[in-house]
Amino acid sequence: MQLELPLAIAPVAPPAGTLRYIQLGGEIVRYRFRRARRRSIGMVIDDDGLRIAAPGHVPITEVEAFIREKARWVSRKLSEWRAAPKPPVVNWSEGSSIALLGAPVILQYLPGRRGILLEHGRLGIGLVPRGEPAALRKRAIAWIKEHARALLGERLALYAGRLGVPVPSLSLSSARTQWGLCREDGHVRLNWRLIHLPLHLVDYVVAHELAHLREMNHSARFWAVVGGLYPGYAGARRELRDCTHRLPIL
């Protein structure tokens, strides 16, 4: 079962699909359209605006009828999206900041050092010559992902212990539309971008996915398992909804 993001996180690749336009009420709405191997038409609004995916056999007229049917939802979501604060873009210069576990960390070049050092609110990146932001970005992202893997693994082990289940195998995702996913076979995928959020929200996502080991649904029984693992989950759930706007674009 997947824990979906209300709006997708920072773009990781240029948006796929053909640009199309449709008139909805008095408004011309731009959207990206692509064909996908799926059973039904899918619709998402994220940092790229409206995106539609449809199976190959569905004619475009039917796709447009589908969008018109959802016109009110689309208009409301698009105006929410326009009004929403935009995520910070990290420019990778010395002194720029990036959120780790909910707190800002200042980036620093350490050309004379080999490693990467997180200390006193500073993330020092070694081996990168000063003034090479692309190299700094590459090393920093690799480090952040490694750091995320270690942290998420730790939290997963902690909460698995509390639930009384073996620690599931973990893989990292950078999916655009989900924080986490628990497969039927017990494998858990967690979004490495969770590392930007405060620990209590990371823990909520971990507890949520682990609870799916007991209940592969979002029934009242499922939420009771979540509540047993993570009391006060409702607040974390609400807070998580606003976090997508704060996730930095790396």
> Which residues make up the interface to Zn ion (CB under 5 A)?
1, 3
Query: For residues 1 and 99, which CB has a smaller minimum distance to Zn ion in the complex?
Result: 1
The CB-of-211 to Zn ion minimum distance in angstroms stands at: 8
Query: For residues 3 and 210, which CB has a smaller minimum distance to Zn ion in the complex?
Result: 3
Contact 192, 144 (CB under 8 A): yes
The CB-of-226 to Zn ion minimum distance in angstroms stands at: 9
Query: For residues 150 and 216, which CB has a smaller minimum distance to Zn ion in the complex?
Result: 216
- Residues near 153 by beta carbon (within 8 Å), at least 6 away in sequence: 170
The CB-of-170 to Zn ion minimum distance in angstroms stands at: 16
Query: For residues 1 and 41, which CB has a smaller minimum distance to Zn ion in the complex?
Result: 1
The CB-of-192 to Zn ion minimum distance in angstroms stands at: 18
| Alpha carbon distances (Å) from 195 to 113, 190, 223, 249 | 24, 10, 24, 13
> Which region holds residue 164: left if phi is over 0, alpha if psi is between -120 and 50, else beta?
left
* Alpha-carbon torsion, ordered 46, 47, 49, 52, to 10 deg: -50
The whole-angstrom separation of Cα 15 and Cα 110 is 35
